[in-house]
Amino acid sequence: MFSKLKQFQDLRSRAKTVQSALEKETAEGSAGWGKVKVTVNGNQRLTNVTIADEAMSDKAKLQDLIKDAVNDSMEKMQKLMAGKLKDIGGLDLAKDIQDMMKK
């Protein structure tokens, strides 16, 4: 029982390390030739939005640009996260949790 508790504490520590490392990463997405830019962090939180004045005149178009910019930033972040997780061993974390639950 104590070994499972120790394993859980180790996994929790590794998860926090991964989360901290990813929080420092950012990715910027843009749409409309840079008229709308958004930035997300590694925890997939939107941290910044920039909208050019000329994009404000058409509400429907602006909504599409925001959606496209957010999707662009999320795709970039997912690629960045995959590489980062591989580098710090975070991809093994989910497997380790599954293995621990099977025992």
Q: Please write the tens of the pLDDT for every residue from 18-67.
A: 778 778 899 999 999 999 999 999 888 999 999 999 999 999 999 999 99
Give the pLDDT score at 32: 97
Q: Which domain holds residue 87?
A: 2-102
For residue 67, the domain's CATH number is 3.30.1310.10
Interval 76-102: pLDDT, tens: 998 988 887 777 665 565 565 556 556
Q: Six-digit token pair at 12?
A: 């929790």
Q: 40-76 burial, b if ≥16 CB within 10 A, otherwise e?
A: bbbeeeeeeeebeeebeeeeeebeebbebbbebbbee
pTM of the model: 0.72
How many independent structural domains does the chain possess? 1
pLDDT at 1: 60
Query: Tokens 């939005």 correspond to what residue?
Result: 49
Report the 10 Å Cβ neighbour count for 12.
Answer: 11
Using CB atoms within 10 A of its CB, is residue 95 exposed (0-12), middle (13-18) or buried (19+)? exposed
